Amino acid sequence: MTDVRVGEDDVARCAWVGDDAEYRRYHDEEWGVPLHGDRPLFEKMSLEGFQAGLSWITILRKRPHFREVFAGFEPAAIAAFDETDVERLMQDAGIIRNRAKIDATISNARLMLDLQPGELDAFLWGFAPASASPRPRTFSDVPATTPESVAMSKALRKRGFRFVGPTTMYALMQSAGMVDDHVVGCWRAH
């Protein structure tokens, strides 16, 4: 099975993990584990937006610094960012310096202020499939989008959220445990 790789610790994992210790930890402890809470889901949505067009390991390695410069992804704090903050972030090599993605994160944080506590969590989880799909046997069985991720993207865009395309939202669904795409043979597949 080329889609599963046995690591130096003799544990079979999804092959995308490779040999990177942080990627291994992320796979084992976070990816596909149900995530709840408005702030954690806002962080995940923001980071998935920054990841668009890049590899997730790039974002994962930069995540501690992202958390630092984006005020722990507290929407109220980010909503108060101004042009000085945008310029500060554009000069920070510790994050992805993409103005459109930075602006989208700030804009999305401002939209979060209009939501009631728990509303983002309930809204996003409302798009989780009602029943589990068959376990993917290979990575070619894993879709880039699903009808649910397309619907989630459209609903978020209708509310004004940005950098929430269907592929990005499917990645969110995977990482937040709304779907479980650990392939057959991975120790996390159950």
94 phi, psi to nearest 5 deg? -80, -5
Cα–Cα dist 124/142, whole Å: 20
- Find the catalytic residue in 16, 26, 125, 187: 26
Q: Would you list the DSSP string of 45-109?
A: HHHHHHHTTS-HHHHHHHHHHHHHHTGGG-HHHHHT--HHHHHHHHT-TTS---HHHHHHHHHHH
What kind and span of H or E run contains 16?
none
Tens-level pLDDT at each residue, the chain (190 residues): 579 999 889 999 999 999 899 999 999 999 999 999 999 999 999 999 999 989 999 999 999 999 999 999 999 999 999 999 999 999 999 999 999 999 999 999 999 999 999 999 999 999 999 887 888 999 899 999 999 999 999 999 999 999 999 999 999 999 999 999 999 999 998 7
- Find the catalytic residue in 16, 30, 56, 187: 56
The residue ranges of every structural domain in the chain are: 4-176
Going by the annotation, the residues of the binding site are 14, 27, 182, 186
13 phi, psi to nearest 5 deg? -130, 165
Cβ contact 94:145 at 8 Å = no
Going by the annotation, the residues of the binding site for Zn(2+) are 14, 27, 182, 186
CATH of range 4-176; options 3.40.640.10, 3.20.20.370, 3.40.50.720, 1.10.340.30: 1.10.340.30
Is 48 one of the catalytic residues? yes
**pLDDT at residue 27 in the model:** 96
CB-side neighbour CA atoms (13 Å) of 43: 22
Is 31 one of the catalytic residues? no
At 22, is the secondary structure helix, strand, or coil? Answer: helix
At 139, is the secondary structure helix, strand, or coil? Answer: helix
**pLDDT at residue 179 in the model:** 96
**pLDDT at residue 51 in the model:** 95
**pLDDT at residue 167 in the model:** 97
- Eight-state DSSP code of residue 129: -
- Find the catalytic residue in 23, 31, 43, 48: 48
Is 29 one of the catalytic residues? no
